[in-house]
Amino acid sequence: MATMKNDIESIWQQIEESIEEEDIRKGIIKRLIIPQWNNKLFLGVEIETRKRLFVLEAPYKVLRNLGPLPQTNGFEASIRYLGDEEENYLSLFLIVKKTQFHDLFVSLIKNILEHLEPLDTEHLVEIIILRLLKWQKFLERFHFEGLGEEAQRGLFGELFFLNRLLEVGVNSKIVINAWKGPEKTVHDFIFEECSLEVKTSISKQHQKVYISSERQLDNSQSGELYLCHFSLDNQSGQGCSLNQIVRIVKEQIKTSPLVSELFEDKLFEAGYLDVHSERYENPTYSIREYNLFKVSQGFPRIIENDLIEGVGDVKYSIMISQCKQYLVAENAVLNMIGDVDSNG
C-alpha cells in the first residue's frame, strides 16, 4: 500500500506518456490500483483535456443517495456511468479542473488513500466523501500555492512551542491533542488547567503582537491563560525553517503511530502540505527572545466584558514592552500543564 501511494505520480505520468500528442480520441484511460482489494480503484487521465482523475466503482444502490458531492475550484466530484463497470455498478468520479493543480491533486489522492482500508464498499465511499469534504474546507481557507508569509510564521511559532513541550517531557498525546491552532479555536493550546496563545514577531524594535478578537486574551471561560511570545530573526540565514520544525516534531513522536497520525491531520488543517515544501525551506528563523506572560488582571488587553453594546470583531495590537511585569518562568507554565513523563 505504501509503495503504491508513492507511485501515484509515476502512474499518472505513464498514462500521460501513452497518449499521443495528436490523439483525437475521447474518453479516459484508467489503470487499476490496489488490485488485491475487492473494490476497484483507478487512476486515469481524460484523453481530450489531459486532466487527471480518480475513480471508485461502486454498486448503484450505494451511490444513488449520496446527494450533492463536494466541489471546489480545484476538483470536481460526480457520479458517472463510464460503460465498463460491472452490472448495476456506477463510478464515483473525481477529476482535477485545471492541469496546473496536478501536484495538489496528487496530495489529495494520497491523503484519501492513506485513510482507506479494504472495507466494504459503502464504508469506503463514506470515507472518500469525508476526505473530500475536508479538502473542500481546506481549499476554501487556503491558497492553492500554500501558506503566506504571516501564516508560515504563525505556524512555525506554534510548532516551536509544541516541540519545546515535547523536549521537556510533556506527554506527546497530551500535547498534540491540546494543539488547537489549526482548528481556529479561541486559543492555540488548551489543556485541562490552562490555555496558551502563541504569537510571533520579527521587527527588531517596538516588538508588538496582533490580537484578532476580544476573546483571544479572555480567560473568563478557560482558567489560567498564558501568552507565549517568540521574537524571531529571519535575516541571519541561520536557524530553523518551517519544514525543519515539522520534521523535528515528527521525529519526536514517531514511536507513537496514533499520535503521528493525529499530528499529520492537524498539519493538514493548518494548511501545511508536502507538495508546497519547497516554498517552506526559506526563510529560516532563529529565536531572539522567548517569553511567557500570565494574562491576568491589569494585562494590556481588550475583552468582551469591556465592550459597550454593539461593538465587536475587535482587532488590536499589544506592545511586548508593556507586558514585562507579567513574565512567568517556563516551569510555572509546565507545572500548570502537568503530564510530564520520561517517555514523551
- Is the pLDDT at 234 greater than 70? The verdict is yes
As a whole number of angstroms, the longest Cα–Cα distance in the chain is 74
The total number of residues shown for the chain amounts to 344
Comparing 20 with 170, the larger pLDDT belongs to: 170
Whether the predicted pLDDT of 185 surpasses 90 = no
Highest mean pLDDT among 171-185, 200-214, 266-280: 171-185
Nearest CA to 159 out of 220, 124, 200, 212 is that of: 200
342 has a pLDDT exceeding 50:
no
For residue 343, what pLDDT is reported?
A: 45
Q: CA distances (Å), 343 to each of 79, 151, 162, 256, 304, in order?
A: 48, 32, 16, 11, 41
Q: Alpha-carbon distance 70 to 130, whole Å? A: 9
CA of 1: how far to CAs of 7, 103, 171, 308, 337, in Å?
10, 20, 30, 58, 39
Does an H or E element contain 210, and which? strand 208-211
How sure is the predictor about 144, in pLDDT bands with cuts at 50, 70 and 90? low
DSSP assigned state of 74 = S
**Helices 121-141 and 102-114: angle between axes, nearest 10 degrees:** 140
- Provide the mean pLDDT of the chain: 86
What does the pLDDT read at residue 236? Answer: 60
pLDDT confidence band for 252 (50 / 70 / 90): very high
Q: Are 89 and 60 in contact (CB under 8 A)?
A: yes
Number of Cβ within a 10 Å radius of residue 310: 5
Alpha-carbon distances of 224 from 130, 163, 315, rounded to whole Å: 36, 21, 22
Residue 211: all three cell numbers together: 490580537
pLDDT computed for residue 118 by the predictor: 65
For 55, the 3-state DSSP assignment is: strand
pLDDT of res. 143: 65
Q: Which three cell numbers stand for residue 164?
A: 519545546
* Residue 253 near residue 223, CB atoms below 8 Å: no
- Pairing assessment for the beta strands 51-59 and 41-46 based on DSSP bridges: antiparallel
Percent of the chain with pLDDT over 70: 91
Could you tell me if 328 and 294 are in contact, meaning their C-beta atoms sit under 8 angstroms apart?
yes
CA separation for the pair 156, 343 (Å, rounded): 24
pLDDT level of residue 231 (50, 70, 90 thresholds): very high
Task: Report DSSP state, residue 249.
Answer: H
pLDDT tens profile 26-69 = 788 999 988 887 778 899 999 888 899 999 998 888 888 788 88
| 7, burial (CB in 10 Å: exposed 0-12, middle 13-18, buried 19+) | middle
Q: How many CB atoms lie under 10 A from the CB of residue 22?
A: 5
Inform me whether the pLDDT recorded for 1 exceeds 60.
no
Q: State residue 2's pLDDT score.
A: 45
Q: How many helices (H) and strands (E) does the chain have?
A: 10, 12
Residue 251 has pLDDT above 80, yes or no: yes
Q: Is the pLDDT of residue 152 over 80?
A: yes
